[in-house]
A and B are shown apart, each in its own frame.
Chain A
Amino acid sequence: QITLKESGPTLVKPTQTLTLTCTFSGFSLSTSGVGVGWIRQPPGKALEWLALIYWNDDKRYSPSLKSRLTITKDTSKNQVVLTMTNMDPVDTATYYCAHNEVSADTATGWFDPWGQGTLVTVSS
């Protein structure tokens, strides 16, 4: 059974850097075809993809947020970390991490399952 859980601060101040950790079980990030992604959802709004990291350390970022994001993995700890710099109130959202799978005929793959999400509020 695959499970993921997000952890990090619930409140950050504007201009600060957000660091979120995704701790997972039930799979290994050293297995070919496996990845972990981050997706966020502002209150009452749509899902927005942020970043993806694959088993081979290939990293993908949302073009609109690329300059602010860094994704890393620690295979031995079964963790993926996302950092987002220069936080702003518009970044207030629930942040999800999710297991990702790709195959020879897919591009970025699909997300299944997802963590429960963590609400991050940006406010002074």
Chain B
Amino acid sequence: SYELTQPPSVSVSPGQTARITCSGDALPKQYAYWYQQKPGQAPVLVIYKDSERPSGIPERFSGSSSGTTVTLTISGVQAEDEADYYCQSADSSGTSVVFGGGTKLTVL
């Protein structure tokens, strides 16, 4: 079955830039979406269609795509950004939803 691969963890210091990657063979063909999940809370959409930011999401969150890898970038990381981040996309046929394994962002 189709999989999206994320690094298990990323660590950055406050004010630095965090980059979280998500790799999958169908990503050149299918959009990617990113969710932030804090402990005990439901996920929140932070990026849709690879690079679009929903209203209410800070500008420091951005997304990009290159080949089979999409990247969530958080510029000027703040302590409140510490959370799990999940990418989501579709399989090559566009019929099934797939989530990545999640990346724990630690703000040192």
Residues of A contacting B37 with CB < 8 Å? Answer: 47
Closest 10 CB pairs of A and B: A107-B94, A107-B90, A112-B45, A49-B97, A114-B42, A110-B33, A47-B99, A108-B90, A46-B102, A108-B97
Tell me the B residues contacting A by CB distance below 8 Å: 1, 30-31, 33, 35, 37, 42-45, 48-49, 54, 86, 88, 90, 94-102
Verify if A52 is at the interface (C-beta below 8 Å from B): yes
Q: Which residue of A lies closest to B95 (CB)?
A: A60
> Do the beta carbons of B43 and A114 come within 8 Å of each other?
yes
Complexed CA–CA distance, A107 and B96 (Å): 9
B54 lies within 8 A of A111 (CB) = no
Residue of B nearest to A115 (CB): B42
Q: Give Cα A112 to B48, complex, Å.
A: 10
- Cα(A116)–Cα(B41), bound, Å: 7
Interface string of A85-123 (1 = CB under 8 A from B): 000000000001000000001111011111111000000
26 contacts between A and B (CB under 8 A): A37-B97, A46-B102, A47-B37, A47-B99, A47-B102, A49-B96, A49-B97, A49-B99, A60-B97, A96-B42, A105-B49, A106-B31, A106-B49, A107-B94, A107-B95, A108-B90, A108-B94, A108-B95, A108-B97, A110-B48, A110-B49, A111-B45, A113-B42, A113-B44, A114-B42, A116-B42
> A62 to chain B: which residues have CB within 8 Å?
96-97
Given A46-B101, A46-B102, A47-B86, A63 and B96 touching (CB < 8 A)?
yes
Q: Which residue of the partner chain B has the closest CB to A94? A: B42
Between B1, B44, B90, the greatest number of chain A beta carbons within 10 A of the residue's beta carbon is seen for: B90
Instruction: Check: A48 CB closer than 8 A to any chain B CB.
Output: yes
Q: How far, in angstroms, from A111 to B99 measured CA to CA in the complex?
A: 11
Is B31 within 8 A of A111, CB to CB? no
Q: Is there contact, CB below 8 Å, between A63 and B1? A: yes
> Which A residues lie within 8 Å of B42 (CB)?
96, 113-117
